Amino acid sequence: MKHMHFNKYIFAILIVITIFFSGCVVKNNSENINNQNNLKQTDFITIHGIASETKDGYYVGDYVLEHSEIQKYDDNYALIEYHDKNLEITGREKEVNIECDPYDQCRQGTYKVIYDIQSINVIE
């Protein structure tokens, strides 16, 4: 009989420990998800520079700002609206390396693109 009570006691302790560790894992996972969301919200950069025209957008500093990205940000965008203007742009950055055929007119090598535009300001 004593052996049965001892087994029930061990079983109850194991259940409590399992529930405790399950709670710790769930809490840790939710903290990781929150940290990843915070990183996604804070990986925006702000760049400055004079917009010089290229065939599919503008060069602004070391970045390419494509017309399609501007149109996602501003539906009323006019193609020459930012030409030769000093811009401050907030968005995300990525590196692009598109392979070109020898007869295509495109950028050779790796270059940086700013996308997911949050703001474009003309600096006077």
- What tens digit of pLDDT does each residue of 39-97 get? 444 699 999 999 999 888 999 999 999 999 999 999 888 888 899 999 999 999 999 88
Q: What is the pLDDT of residues 14-49, one digit of tens each?
A: 787 878 766 655 555 555 555 554 444 469 999 999
Q: Are 78 and 107 in contact (CB under 8 A)?
A: no
Q: Could you identify the residue written with the tokens 């939710």?
A: 30
Query: Which run of H or of E encompasses 23?
Result: helix 2-42
Mark residue 108 as left, alpha or beta (left: phi above 0; alpha: psi -120 to 50; beta: remaining).
beta
* Residue extents of the structural domains in the chain: 1-42, 45-122
pTM as predicted: 0.61
